Amino acid sequence: MVYEDRSGVPRKVVSTDQASRIMASSWPVNSGNEFLKTREIFLDVMRGSRPISEARAAFLRAAEEADLDITGN
């Protein structure tokens, strides 16, 4: 999937690790229910206790909460 960063540059997201780093460093908000849930889900996925599909779905919900446009989902 692709999202636009703060400067409007399209960025391709290819892994849970990359999505986690994006949310930690350049996400437009650092609060909100979906933001916090997504960070927890990412950790679980990286530990192997949840499927990747849950990380993807959570990322999309967090993006919607942050009013970001996501394509390729």
What's residue 6's pLDDT?
A: 73
pLDDT digits (tens), the chain, 73 positions: 898 877 888 889 999 999 999 999 888 888 899 999 999 999 999 999 999 999 999 999 999 999 888 887 5
| Residue 56 tokens, joined | 């993807």
Residue closest to 19 by CA, chosen among 50, 49, 69, 63 = 63
What's residue 9's pLDDT?
A: 83
- Whole-angstrom Cα distance, residue 30 to residue 12? 20
* Domain containing residue 17: 2-71
What's residue 72's pLDDT?
A: 73
What's residue 73's pLDDT?
A: 59
CA angle 12, 7, 64 (to 5 degrees): 60
pTM for this model (two decimals): 0.88
* Tally of structural domains, the chain: 1
Which residue shows structure tokens 């999309």? 60
